[in-house]
Structures are given as structure tokens and as C-alpha cells.
Amino acid sequence: MSGPGGLRIRVHANDPVRRRGLTAMLEAAGHVLTNETPDVELCDMDRTSSPLPKEAEAPVVALTTGSPPGAPAGVLPPDATAEQLDAALRAVFAGLLVRTSAAPETRGFAPADDMPLLTPREREILGLIGEGLSNKAMARRLGISVHTIKFHLEALFTKLDATSRAEAVTKGLRGGVIEL
């Protein structure tokens, strides 16, 4: 990571005016633009028709109105504010996925399709359920107790409003929380 609190960002934007505008927003937020190995890559897809980088060296945040191919870690509208852009870049760098809802009045960092926000551990456990692991096997793999697994499962089932492991996995797949 670059400097105190800033990230190294590689910008993909074909339009020089748009690139300068994005550069100004990023530098004002304390980030550093680089052509070297970045922490996060920013791709302006709609206004300049820049495709997603084929072999990105870091997580990608795409500025677009559609659903870009290649499933970037972050997707924001092209008119995202500087604050939204900064928050998305930092979230993606931290390993989170960022999506905005389609309705303009609800733009932000809300989960898609009313999917509840899950903790990283809950996401991890949901993925392990999808692999068919038992509570005991999950506990061994994660290095935690079976009691802790049961605690996370209860929270997960409550958040997903699921009554079985299969239902939880199905909702996780439909909501884009996990992939098998």
C-alpha cells in the first residue's frame, strides 16, 4: 500500500479529459496513480469504452451502467461521487465486493437483491456448507471450535431466513455471495 492511507491505483480510461478528472478525485483522496503494480485498478468503461484489463494485477473497480463481463470486484456507476469511488477502492482492496443497485434513488453500497450483509466468516462458512462439509470438518479447516461454527450457522440462517443448509446455499448462490 502506498503512503499513509493511500492506495496505488492504475487507471484505465481512454478519454484524456475523463482520465484527468478521475486522477484529480483519486489524488484528492490521497491515492497515488501508478503504472507499476497497483493495489487496485480502476476501469472507466462507459464513457471511454475501456475494456476490463485482461490480466489485471489487482482487484478491479469498473465504472459502468451495465454488468461488465469478467466479474470485477467493484462496479460503480460512471457518475459515482469522489466519496463513493474512494470507499469502493478501499473496500475492494480490503477484499470486499462492491455493487450498486440499479435504481438511481438507492445507489450506494447496499447488497444486491436485498441480500443481507454477511461477515467474512459467515461468507466463508456458507462456502464450506456449499462444499458439503460437516460442522466438525469446518471447525477443523478453520481452526475454531464446533460451538463457534454452530454460532455462525445460527447467525447465517437468521440473516438468510433459511431453515436448512441447502436453502442457505441456494440463497447464497442466487445472491452472488458464493460461487461453487
Cell of 164: 436448512
3, part of any domain: no
Minimum mean pLDDT range among 26-30, 62-66, 130-134: 62-66
pLDDT band at 7 (very low <50, low <70, confident <90, very high): very high
Q: Which amino acid is at 91?
A: A
Question: By residue range, what is the domain housing residue 145?
Answer: 115-174
1, part of any domain: no
Residues 17 and 90 in one domain: yes
Residue with cell 460442522: 135
CATH code at position 155:
1.10.10.10
Residue with cell 445460527: 154
Model-level pTM? Answer: 0.54
Is residue 25 within 8 Å of residue 7, measured between CB atoms? no
Note the pLDDT of residue 103.
Answer: 37
Domains: count for the chain: 2
CATH code at position 106:
3.40.50.2300
Helix (H) or strand (E) holding 74: strand 74-76
Residues 54 and 142 in one domain: no
